[in-house]
């Protein structure tokens, strides 16, 4: 039973994680097919990713608790085949523990290790899922026998009028696990699910706390952009017909408003009303055609997300803006003053703040 719950959590986590990884780092052949709709797609998938990952922690603990004496069985293996199977379990348990541990610490933006988080988390996921498939394959005969036994017992019990045989403590244990999963979910899911917001006690973010009612991951101070002057700032659009705009000129172009979420890979998300110039209008003016991709360069030079690339489907989307305002106000320094990218169905890390340059990629 625990195995089935845990398996479900792992599968949801794996599929949503692959989606997130693909949006952030698309392989060449997928680049032109990334979906810019539904607007809240990434908000939902990444919310599910972090919710199922957190739920997997008590489930993994419970699963290990039910089997741990067998992890240390002696002699370790009676045959080569069994030795291989047990080696697979070492990989599965090790990668699964490391995976939920690194994922949880990433939601806290805490990286107390020397390796890169994203690549490690990605490859561990493949090892864990591969190990899980091998494990289910190796145990398939036992799983089948167990199901047949349970069904036969239930049938016999129905015939005799007695209840099914219950291992003492089983119900209490399962109830305890279910309660743990429910609790950790309810006190963290509010970082993305609006109607659970009031219960959001343990998540590192409340999506409504921050300047202009939105959280901030990288502050202007950390990025060294807190004193950018709107009078001196210029937007350079590089393409077949490059040009430069002042902030006043940018603000004088046709403005559009869209309600779009920031959906951080760490699991929090928040929607806001953004106003600014369509990226496709800015690029068309530079002579780009409808298949253009764009490199977005920020004044934030120290961090990992100072330069990002935007695929053609987002560039074309009329909701993709170089935003100057949020909820009617000029962007706060922490939200990317004077201009930031906001696009639908996209990871927060790519919603580049403090933009200074857009370059059409040939």
Ligand X SMILES: Nc1nc2c(c(=O)[nH]1)N[C@H]1C(S)=C(S)[C@@H](COP(=O)(O)O)O[C@H]1N2
Torsion of CA 72, 77, 81, 82, to 10 degrees: -30
Q: Which residues have CB under 8 Å from 104's CB, separation 6+?
A: 53, 54, 57
Which does residue 300 touch among ligand X, Mo ion, none (CB within 5 to 8 A, set by kind)? ligand X
Q: Which residues pair with 70 in a beta bridge?
A: none
- Of 264 and 286, the one with the shorter C-beta distance to ligand X is 264
State both tokens at 296. 């977005």
**Cα–Cα distance, 12 to 32 (Å, whole number):** 25
The interface with Mo ion within residues 214-253 (CB under 5 A) comprises: 217
Rule CB under 5 A: say whether 341 interacts with Mo ion: no
Rule CB under 5 A: say whether 207 interacts with Mo ion: no
Least separation in angstroms between CB 194 and ligand X: 16
By CB under 5 A, which span of 196-204, 212-220, 238-246, 310-318 interacts with Mo ion?
212-220
Least separation in angstroms between CB 192 and ligand X: 12
Among 19, 314, 348, 353, binds Mo ion (CB under 5 A): 348
Does residue 318 contact residue 307 with C-beta atoms inside 8 Å? no
Which does residue 305 touch among Mo ion, ligand X, none (CB within 5 to 8 A, set by kind)? ligand X
Query: How many CB atoms neighbour CB 276 within 10 A?
Result: 25
Alpha helices in the chain (DSSP H): 2-24, 41-71, 80-107, 117-160, 170-186, 220-223, 247-252, 279-285, 312-316
Binding site for ligand X (CB under 6 A): 214-218, 223, 262, 264, 298, 300, 303, 305-306, 334-335, 348-349, 351-354
Least separation in angstroms between CB 108 and Mo ion: 13
Least separation in angstroms between CB 218 and Mo ion: 8
What sign results for the dihedral spanned by CA atoms 25, 281, 303, 103? negative
- Of 95 and 106, the one with the shorter C-beta distance to Mo ion is 106
Which letter does DSSP use for residue 35 in this model?
-
Calculate ∠ Cα 189-190-196, nearest 5°: 105
Q: How many Cα atoms sit within 13 Å of 95 on the Cβ side?
A: 20
- Of 341 and 360, the one with the shorter C-beta distance to Mo ion is 341
Least separation in angstroms between CB 35 and Mo ion: 20
Residue appearing with tokens 């129905």:
158
Does residue 361 contact residue 309 with C-beta atoms inside 8 Å? yes
- Of 251 and 296, the one with the shorter C-beta distance to ligand X is 296
Least separation in angstroms between CB 351 and Mo ion: 8
- Of 197 and 285, the one with the shorter C-beta distance to ligand X is 197
The residues binding Mo ion (CB under 5 A) are 217, 264, 348-349
């Amino acid at each position: 039973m625990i195995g089935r719950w845990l398996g479900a959590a792992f599968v949801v986590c794996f599929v949503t994680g692959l989606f997130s990884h693909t949006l952030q780092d698309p392989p060449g052949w997928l680049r032109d097919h990334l979906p810019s709709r539904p607007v809240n797609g990434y908000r939902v998938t990444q919310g599910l990713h972090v919710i199922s990952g957190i739920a997997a922690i008590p489930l993994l603990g419970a699963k290990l608790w039910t089997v741990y004496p067998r992890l240390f069985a002696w002699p370790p293996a009676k045959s080569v085949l069994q030795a291989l199977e047990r080696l697979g379990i070492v990989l599965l348990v090790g990668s699964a523990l490391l995976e939920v541990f690194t994922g949880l610490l990433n939601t806290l933006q805490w990286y107390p290790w020397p390796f890169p988080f994203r690549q490690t988390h990605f490859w561990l996921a493949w090892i864990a899922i591969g190990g899980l498939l091998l494990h289910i394959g190796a145990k398939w005969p036992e799983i089948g026998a167990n199901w047949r036994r349970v069904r036969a017992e239930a049938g016999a019990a129905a015939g005799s009028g007695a209840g099914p045989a219950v291992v003492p403590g089983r119900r209490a244990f399962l109830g305890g696990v279910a309660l743990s999963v429910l609790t950790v979910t309810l006190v963290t899911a509010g970082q993305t699910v609006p109607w659970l917001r009031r219960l959001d006690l343990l998540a590192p973010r409340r999506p409504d706390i921050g300047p202009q009612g939105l959280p901030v991951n990288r502050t202007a101070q950390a990025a060294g952009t807190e004193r950018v002057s709107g009078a001196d700032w210029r937007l350079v659009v590089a393409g077949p017909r490059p040009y430069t705009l002042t902030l006043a000129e940018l603000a004088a172009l046709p403005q559009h408003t869209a309600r779009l979420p920031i959906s951080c890979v760490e699991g929090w998300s928040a929607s806001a009303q953004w106003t600014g110039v369509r990226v496709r209008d800015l690029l068309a003016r530079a002579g780009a055609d409808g298949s253009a991709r764009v490199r977005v360069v920020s004044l934030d030079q120290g961090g990992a997300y100072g330069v990002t690339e935007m695929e053609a489907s987002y560039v074309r989307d009329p909701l993709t803006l170089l935003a100057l305002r949020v909820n009617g106000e000029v962007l706060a320094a922490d939200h990317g003053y004077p201009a930031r990218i906001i696009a639908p169905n996209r990871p927060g890390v790519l919603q580049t703040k403090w933009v200074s340059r857009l370059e059409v990629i040939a």
